[in-house]
Structure 1
Amino acid sequence: MTQLVQQPLPDHVPPELAMALPLFSRRVVYENPQETLIPAMHADLPPITYVTNIFPGDQPGWLLKNAADVQAMLRDPDNFTKNGMGKWAQNIGENWLVIPTEADPPVHTAYRKALNGHFSPQKMFAMKEQVRERAAVLIDTFKDRGHCDFIVEFSEKFPIFIVLDLLGLPQERMAQFLKWEKELLHTNDWQVRGNAVKCVKDYLLEEIEARRREPRDDYITKVLDFDVDGRLWTDDEVLGHCFNLYIGGLDTVTSLLGNIFNYLASHPEKQNELRADPSQIVLAVEEFLRAFAPVTAFRIATKVIEIQGQTIMPGEYVAFCSPVVGRDPAFYEDPQDIRFDRKAPHMSLGSGIHKCLGMHLARLELQIAVEEFVKRVPEFRTKDGFQVPYFVGNILHVPDLQLQWD
């Protein structure tokens, strides 16, 4: 399961805790990591591990296996920072932050004060019929065909339609946006990643400048009027926030949908539970978020810290791997069992001050996607003879999912 590391390690890292893990190898495999790798990690790994390939570019960091340790970290902004966590700007020699994701208190509090109202449950609920129409139109293109390429025909397009609508960006550029998104989030090559950062940054700056010249009725125009402590946001802050919406809105829900529908395709009884009683879908989505969360996120230690008896030095990365935390057997009873009545708390949308800004929109998108799909498509399954691929890396997802139905 693991590969012990031979190269020199920092003096405070015990050699027995240092290893490369297959879950972060950033490649396609054909075994379901939620059923194999993750349960094995809970069975075999210590509570904290120095994982040499945990960050893109095969850079090291500490993995916390237990949900309780992760929860404590996420609620501790004094000992952990998110400043520059993703190394997006640093990769191209700049120093703007992804807003509010990479901001720390007290300025983070001011950012969220400006932003929360725009992503409130009420604001997102007002988008419900628009979101439903996007889902229905996509499903209607293939529902009578008896099969679909789920990722290409639905899960990639559906959440991106919504985000592009919100930002006022052109739907006809979707193919280009998807290319940049994959180069940003699904590569281990820092040059590819950096080139994509430059492309997205340049494009967003053009759009921001266009709104300054000619304001529109869209979210980017609204951002230009946001303030922090009585001053308007700087150009870097506006860019950093738009970049945040781009990388968050174009990928996470897509990855979740692939994981969820891969599960439903192999568990027709679960599909039919939701068909028979759609009122279960709200709680089912919370269970899906627990079990199929895709993202590994990070904090950076700000001082010497001890976790589970291990010293962590300032500047070292500490990982919150939501696919691992969501299946912690010490935190969840029978975590491999998907139960729509579980009602268990999860951290898949974050915890503490950095709880996901778009969590209400993400929930709405997932609920409507499941509801419309099971309503419009009969019992579906993985296409005969198709072997499901799984991408293991910082965003655990199914890159290709071929479905069919009778």
Structure 2
Amino acid sequence: MASAPTQELPAHVPADKAVWLDFFSRSNVDVCPQETMIPEIHRTLGPITWCSNIFPGDHGGWLLTKVDDMHAVLRDPDNYTKNGMGKFAQSIGEDWLVIPTETDPPIHGEYRKALNPFFAPQKIAKMRDELHDRAIRQIEEFKDRGHCEFVEDFSSKFPIYIVLDLLGLPQERMGEFLQWEKDIFHTNDFELRTSSIRKVVDYLKEMIADRRANPGDDYVSGIFDYEVEGRKWNDKEVFGHCFNLFIGGLDTVTSMLGNIFTYLAKNPDKQQELRDDPKKIVLAVEEFLRAFAPVSVFRIAAKEIEIHGQKIMPGDYVGISTAIAGYDPDYYDNPEEIRFDRKAPHISLGFGIHKCLGMHLARMEMHTALEQWLKLVPPFRVADGFQIQYHAGNILHVPRLELQWDV
């Protein structure tokens, strides 16, 4: 699961603190990362390790394994910047930022002041009926068949319908958008990643120009009136926010749902627990967020720092895997056990000033998917003969999930 890195290490990185991890291989594997790779990481690695393949394209950086250290980094924007951390603009020779994700204080707070009202709980609550209707319509397309491919038939579409509607993007191009997303986040081919970023950028810039010329009542047209530092957002800022919604909305909830339903298909007793008492779904979503968080995020050291005696140099990437955080045995009691009464805090939707902008929508999507699925679909299981594969990388997910049930 861990091996020695093949490339030359930076001068300040001790050889005994450097590894190449299968966990960041950005490839399909036959073992469940939450059951195998993550527990091994906690057993064998210290609190900070140089991982030579932590970023796409096998770029190296520091991996933290302890929640307390992650908290310290995430609440310290003076020493750890997010400016350009995703290398999206840089990879195509441009200089915009993903907004608000790649911005630091004080301007980050200005952006959030403009954005938070739209994504506030009371605003998102108004979408509840639409979410329920979407989920029901999708499930009714296959529930009487007795089987489905969960990712294709449900989880890749349900949350994405909502984002495309929000941005006013054509639903009929969903397949193309999903392929771009896959080639950005689920590959180790940096050239393919860069090519797909360019496709997204070109499409969104054309869309934004059209909305400026022909504004409507959609969310994107409303961004033109947002203000920061006493002025309207400029073109780069409008684009940077649209890029954030596009890449953030087309992947993470889909990945979470795949991880959750894989677990429920393999554990009929836990599935039945939620069927017997649907009120448990609210806390179950929080436990699933802890146990099946899919995303690794990054900060960039802004100055020379030390963590547990290890020197971190300016420009070093510091990786924080929400998946690894959820299994820290020093922070969670028996983390490998899934308990719907745990009520434990987690960083799966961010921490500190960079809490996920869409966290209330993400929670509602997961709650709605579980609630409607368990109402409409009989007890389900992994389809006979189907071998689950898992994707290990910066976003953990199941590429395919064949389910079946008795009708």
Give CA deviations for 1:170-195 in whole Å, capped at 9, x if unaligned.
11111111111111111111111111
1:203 and 2:203 correspond: yes
Which residue in the other structure is 2:192 paired with? 192
Is the deviation greater in 281-290 or in 223-232? 223-232
Alignment partners' CA distance in 1, 2:284 and 2:91: 39
The whole-number CA distance in structure 2 between the counterparts of 1:168 and 1:252 is: 20
TM-score, structure 2 normalization: 0.99
Provide runs of 4+ in structure 1 moved above 4 Å: none
Q: CA deviation at 1:7?
A: 3.8
CA distance in 2, matches of 1:23, 1:190: 18
Change over 3 Å in CA distance of 1:213–1:338 after alignment to 2: same
Residue 365 of structure 1 corresponds to 365
Aligned to 1:12: 12
The 5-angstrom pairing of residues 246-285 of structure 1 reads 246-285=246-285
Q: Which amino acid aligns with 2:102?
A: E
Residue 44 of structure 2 aligns with which residue?
A: 44
Partner of 2:146: 146
The residue aligned with 1:327 is: 327
Aligned to 1:87: 87
Tell me the residue number matched to 1:70.
Answer: 70
Q: Which moved more, 1:180-189 or 1:84-93?
A: 180-189
Distance 1:264 1:126 in 2: 29
Give the counterpart letter for 1:304 in structure 2. Answer: E
2:234 corresponding residue in structure 1: 234
Whole-angstrom distance in 2 between the partners of 1:19 and 1:376: 46
Q: What letter matches 2:119 in structure 1?
A: F
Equivalent residue of 1:356, what SS? Answer: coil
2:33 aligned partner: 33
Name the aligned partner's letter for residue 270 of structure 2: K
Deviation at 1:290, TM superposition (A): 0.2
Question: Which segments of 5 or more consecutive residues in structure 1 lack a partner in the other structure?
Answer: none
* 2:129 aligned residue: 129
Which moved further from structure 2: 344-353 or 176-185?
176-185
Aligned-partner residue type, residue 103 of structure 2: A
Deviation at 1:109, TM superposition (A): 0.5
Aligned residue type for 2:78: D
Q: Which amino acid aligns with 1:299?
A: R
- 2:174 aligned with 1:174: yes
How much has 1:6 moved relative to structure 2? 4.8
Task: Give distance in 2, aligned partners of 1:37 and 1:218.
Answer: 43
SS at match of 1:144: helix
Deviation at 1:207, TM superposition (A): 1.3
| CA shift digits 1:368-398 (9 cap, x unpaired) | 0010111100100000111001010100110
1:145-189 Cα deviation digits (max 9, x unpaired)? 100000000000001001011111111111111111111111111
Deviations 1:208-261 (A, max 9, x none): 111111111111011111110211111010000000000000000000000000
Taking a change above 3 Å as real, the CA distance of residues 270 and 15 of structure 1, as seen in their structure-2 partners, is: same
Q: Residue 217 of structure 1 aligns with which residue? A: 217
Does the residue aligned with 1:404 lie in a helix, a strand or coil? strand
Please give the secondary structure, in 2, of the residue aligned with 1:118: coil
Partner of 2:302 in structure 1? 302
Q: Could you give the per-residue CA deviations for residues 67-99 of structure 1, whole angstroms, max 9, x where no partner exists?
A: 110011111111100000000000000110000
Distance in 2, matches of 1:4 and 1:172, equals: 45
Count of matched residue positions in the alignment of Structure 1 and Structure 2: 406
C-alpha separation between the residues in 2 aligned to 1:10 and 1:179?
35
Deviation at 1:272, TM superposition (A): 1.1
SS at match of 1:136: helix
- The answer to whether structure 1 residue 23 and structure 2 residue 23 are counterparts is yes
Report the counterpart of residue 381 of structure 2 in structure 1. 381
Runs of 5+ consecutive residues of structure 2 not aligned to the other structure: none
Query: TM-score, with normalisation over the residues of structure 1?
Result: 0.99
- Contact map agreement 1:4 1:16 (CA 8 A) in 2: no
Q: Give deviations 1:313-363, integer Å, cap 9, x for gaps.
A: 000000010110011111000100000000000000010110100000000
Separation in structure 1 between the aligned mates of residue 70 and residue 280 of structure 2, nearest angstrom: 29
Aligned mates of 1:29, 1:2 — CA distance in 2: 14
Offset, 1:5:
2.5
d(CA) in 1 for partners of 2:78 and 2:229?
Answer: 22
